[in-house]
C-alpha cells in the first residue's frame, strides 16, 4: 500500500508537469492519481490532500470546455476548486468523496 501511495504522489507530479509542458489532457490523469493518493492517505491527511484533486479537476474541466486560455481563467479554476473542496470537505462524508474506490476496498476486505 505504501508503494501505491507514494507512486500515486509521484505520478500526480509527473502528470501535472506533463499537463503544463506537453498537453492539458494530462490534467485528468493527474486528478485521478491525486484522488487515489488522497484515498490511501484518508486515514490521516487524505481529506486535506483532496484539495489538489479538486483543483486539478476544475482545471481539467475548464480546459475541456475551452475556458482555460488566460492566466485569470486558471486562477478562477483554482479558486473554484479550493472553494468546492472546502464546502464538500465540511458537508459531505468522506465515504462519498472517495465512493467508488472506498466501496471496492470495503468489498475486497470482507
Higher pLDDT, 103 or 58: 58
Q: First vs last Cα of the chain: how many Å apart?
A: 18
Q: What is the mean pLDDT of residues 44-51?
A: 87
Total domains present in the chain = 1
Q: Within 10 A of 15 (CB to CB), how many other CB atoms are there?
A: 22
On the question of pLDDT at 103 being above 80, the answer is no
On the question of pLDDT at 67 being above 80, the answer is yes
Q: Is the pTM of this model over 0.85?
A: yes
Q: What is the mean pLDDT of residues 61-82?
A: 96
Q: What is the mean pLDDT of residues 41-50?
A: 85
Parent domain of 78: 2-109
Reported confidence tier of residue 110, pLDDT bands at 50, 70, 90:
low
Amino acid at each position: 500500500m505504501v508503494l501505491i501511495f507514494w507512486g500515486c504522489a509521484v505520478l500526480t507530479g509527473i502528470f501535472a508537469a506533463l499537463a503544463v509542458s506537453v498537453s492539458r489532457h494530462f490534467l485528468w490523469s493527474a486528478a485521478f492519481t491525486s484522488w487515489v493518493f488522497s484515498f490511501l492517505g484518508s486515514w490521516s491527511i487524505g481529506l486535506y490532500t483532496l484539495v489538489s484533486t479538486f483543483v486539478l479537476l476544475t482545471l481539467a474541466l475548464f480546459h475541456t470546455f475551452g475556458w482555460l486560455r488566460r492566466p485569470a481563467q486558471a486562477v478562477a479554476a483554482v479558486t473554484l476548486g479550493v472553494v468546492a473542496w472546502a464546502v464538500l470537505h465540511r458537508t459531505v462524508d468522506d465515504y462519498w468523496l472517495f465512493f467508488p474506490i472506498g466501496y471496492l476496498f470495503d468489498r475486497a476486505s470482507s
